[in-house]
Amino acid sequence: MIRYLKKYRLFFILAPLFMLGEVSMDLMQPKLMGIIVDEGVLGLSNGGTGDLSLVISVGVKMIALVLFGCFCGIMSGVFANLCSQNYGNDIRKDAFRKVMSLSFEQTDHFSTGSLITRVTNDITQVQNLVMQCIRGFVRTFLLFAGGILCMLTLDLSFGAVLVCALPLIVICVIFFIGKANPKFVILQDKLDKLNDVMQENVSGIRVVKAYVKEDYEKGRFGEANDELVGTQLDVLLLFSYMTPIMNIILNFSIAAVIKIGAIQVGNGSVTPGDVMAAITYISQILNAVMRMTMIFQTVSRGVASGKRIKEILDCEPSIADGDFAGECAVKGKVEFRNVSFAYPDMKNEKVIRDFSLTIMPGETVGILGATGCGKSTLVNLIPRFYDVTEGEVLVDDVDVRSYKLGELRKKVAIALQKSEIFSTSIRENIAWGDPDADDEQIRRAAAVAQALEFIDQKAEGLDTQVTQGGHSLSGGQKQRVAISRAVLKNAEILIFDDTTSALDLKTEAKLYEALKKEYAGMTKIIIAQRVASVKDADRIVVIENGKMAACGSHDDLMESSNIYRDIYDSQLKR
Ligand SMILES: Nc1ncnc2c1ncn2[C@@H]1O[C@H](COP(=O)(O)OP(=O)(O)OP(=O)(O)O)[C@@H](O)[C@H]1O
Ligand SMILES: [Mg+2]
């Protein structure tokens, strides 16, 4: 992930450089303060007479240095923010792009909540890490090293305090960091869980309310939240022990500096101003070590988050792109050749079994079968939402795995079983099928889908805004918007996965009639539960337990297929 910093290397270099300016100013202050005390107030080299003009001139110098330090601090902050924010922004965009390219199997593997945490919170942690590296770490290290140097130049005897205090502080830091480190990974996992529960509840709020499950869900959320807070508290409590221990060491060190300083002043080797400066330096040094602990915390958390983001960035889409650009002599042919399929997490359980079928260009094929028999799974193999386990699926005589994914999916318009509607206008929802379509084309598609009537009844027509998840539309209206979208795409192959289930029989019949008239040459695959929906198809395929049980026209099947006749009788002959 370091390569993302390359673009911002100028900011990455400028921020610590300005920080060097700020810290240098901080380090000069105690020495100048020492001069004011020794010469300006005590007048050590002037027989005990203070010098007000010296106090003023050194004071002005100190103010000038503070102002310059302030300017450097601001510039360092600006460059550090530019670097870390842009860095995070680039990673976030790439991570999102990667999430979009993942197959269904891979998104299921990560879980929605975890993907959201990774693209949001984890990236913020990594941004904090970069910020700390180029600002916090540099500042602290310079204060630490510069403080030691400055203190030793006052008098080497002060070094004795450092020799005693530093190892103690370092042992303390290592102990606490070692304890806290593994907790950061757990913390992000708990956040994933919380986001999962939150996301499920917000999107499923209607079901939660319908089943009066608010209390149950509150409990589930509370549990996830308690776990998160528990882990967070573990970390915070650990560090709350650390600060007082560090403070004790710091105060003992200051006392030691005063003691050594007093002896040395008595010997005449240092001045009272030097002792004052040494006290400030030892505080700066030990404070730097303490701040380093906080920085290590951010770094550990950032590294844990970085690994989680990397998992996404490194994830190769399991449905890989082919090379074939999609120009074929035939248009609209679909062939299943001895296809078997099992979902990746259930390798032993075949959902489609040895299925073979050739659908010719322009043909309308209906697919019937009991719920869960594998109808959706079968059509999902055509646009390669999943890859076959055995056999081949061919579109226009070419194996779907050979196509560039974009080209293959251009050939297929699919209206899914669950209509996905986005929170934008009805026009935009339909125009997803063809972003270049004008209003007339959109209205024509809506007319075929029998959606125009209800759209025109709305005060704002096509501009009507749909609420998230399409909740402001009825089930049948949502289906018709989704059908309009698929129809507008004007692809070679049109697939309806039980998309007319919420339409009344009359509207459904009008839809199929319009489709037949307006898009005669298009290959149509229509999955349905009702015989009436597929009765007029050229051929009807009956699926039973993932296998083809019968195939033929309505009249053929009525004669030859017991299963079909049973379905027909159960639905139409009351
Ligand atoms: N993502 C998935 N992971 C694992 N198993 C799945 C997945 N999706 C579906 N299944 C299983 O595959 C089988 C076939 O499901 P499919 O959705 O194809 O049925 P269907 O015929 O479309 O049913 P329906 O008429 O209810 O829509 C079912 O047993 C289902 O539980
Ligand atoms: Mg289905």
Residue 260 lies in a domain: yes
Output the CA torsion sign for 229, 231, 235, 237: positive
Residue 327 lies in a domain: no
Indicate which residue's Cα is closest to atom 10 of ligand 1. 343
Strand-pair partners of 525: 365, 495
The residue from 313, 343, 371 where one domain ends is: 313
The domain of 522 spans: 334-572
- Specify the ligand 1 atom closest to the Cα of 529: 25
- Specify the ligand 1 atom closest to the Cα of 378: 18
User: How many other C-beta atoms are found inside a 10 Å radius of the C-beta of residue 184?
Assistant: 21
DSSP 9: H
Reported as a pLDDT band with limits 50, 70 and 90, residue 111 is confident
Count of domains observed in the chain: 2
CATH of the domain at 354: 3.40.50.300
Residue 475 lies in a domain: yes
| 42 plus 120 within the same structural domain | yes
C-alpha 529 to ligand 2 mean position (Å) = 9
The residue from 313, 344, 375 where one domain ends is: 313
Q: Could you give the maximum distance between any two Cα atoms of the chain, in Å?
A: 126
| 408 plus 510 within the same structural domain | yes
Reported as a pLDDT band with limits 50, 70 and 90, residue 166 is confident
Reported as a pLDDT band with limits 50, 70 and 90, residue 185 is confident
Judge contact between 542 and 549, C-beta under 8 A: yes
Q: Can you list the alpha helix ranges (DSSP code H) found in 348-488?
A: 375-380, 405-411, 426-431, 439-448, 452-457, 475-488
The residue from 278, 313, 348 where one domain ends is: 313
Measured between alpha carbons, how far apart are the two ends of the chain, in Å?
Answer: 66
| 139 plus 65 within the same structural domain | yes
C-alpha 349 to ligand 1 mean position (Å) = 12
- Specify the ligand 1 atom closest to the Cα of 346: 4
Give the C-alpha separation, 18 to 22, whole Å: 6
| 500 plus 404 within the same structural domain | yes
Indicate which residue's Cα is closest to atom 18 of ligand 1. 374
| 350 plus 266 within the same structural domain | no
- How long a stretch of residues is the chain? 574
Give the predicted TM-score (pTM) of the model. 0.74
Reported as a pLDDT band with limits 50, 70 and 90, residue 441 is very high
The residues near 510 (Cβ < 8 Å, ≥ 6 apart) are: 450
User: CA-CA distances (angstroms) from residue 401 to 118, 451, 519?
Assistant: 30, 35, 27
Residue 156 lies in a domain: yes
Indicate which residue's Cα is closest to atom 26 of ligand 1. 371
Residue 265 lies in a domain: yes
At CA 448, angle to CA 470 and CA 423, rounded to 5? 15
| 273 plus 350 within the same structural domain | no
pLDDT, residue 233, reads: 93
The 10s digit of each residue's pLDDT in 530-543 is 888 898 899 999 99
Residue 38 lies in a domain: yes
| 198 plus 100 within the same structural domain | yes
Indicate which residue's Cα is closest to atom 1 of ligand 1. 343
Indicate which residue's Cα is closest to atom 7 of ligand 1. 343
Q: Specify the amino acid at residue 345.
A: D
Pocket test for ligand 1, best of 351, 381, 541, 544 (most atoms within 8 A of CB): 351
CA count, 13 A, side-chain hemisphere, 506: 0
Both tokens assigned to 263: 């002896």
Residue 396 lies in a domain: yes
C-alpha 526 to ligand 2 mean position (Å) = 11
| 256 plus 353 within the same structural domain | no
pLDDT, residue 573, reads: 60
C-alpha 350 to ligand 1 mean position (Å) = 11
Both tokens assigned to 358: 């050739």
Reported as a pLDDT band with limits 50, 70 and 90, residue 358 is very high
Phi-psi map region of 359: left, alpha, beta (phi>0 left; psi -120 to 50 alpha): beta
| 304 plus 344 within the same structural domain | no
Both tokens assigned to 508: 């459904």
Count the helices and strands in the chain (H runs, E runs): 20, 10
| 456 plus 557 within the same structural domain | yes
The 10s digit of each residue's pLDDT in 231-284 is 999 988 888 888 888 889 888 999 999 999 999 999 888 899 899 999 999 888
Give the C-alpha separation, 44 to 36, whole Å: 11
User: CA-CA distances (angstroms) from residue 222 to 113, 197, 199, 226, 543?
Assistant: 16, 10, 14, 6, 45
C-alpha 414 to ligand 1 mean position (Å) = 17
Reported as a pLDDT band with limits 50, 70 and 90, residue 188 is confident
Ligand at minimal distance from the CA of 529 is 1
Output the CA torsion sign for 556, 559, 560, 561: positive
The 10s digit of each residue's pLDDT in 367-400 is 999 889 999 999 999 999 999 999 999 999 999 9
Residue with token string 């300017």: 71
Judge contact between 538 and 562, C-beta under 8 A: no
- Residue ranges around ligand 1 (CB below 6 Å): 343, 346, 351, 369, 371-377, 417, 498
Give the C-alpha separation, 538 to 157, whole Å: 100
Judge contact between 119 and 99, C-beta under 8 A: yes
Residue 324 lies in a domain: no
| 405 plus 545 within the same structural domain | yes
| 207 plus 355 within the same structural domain | no
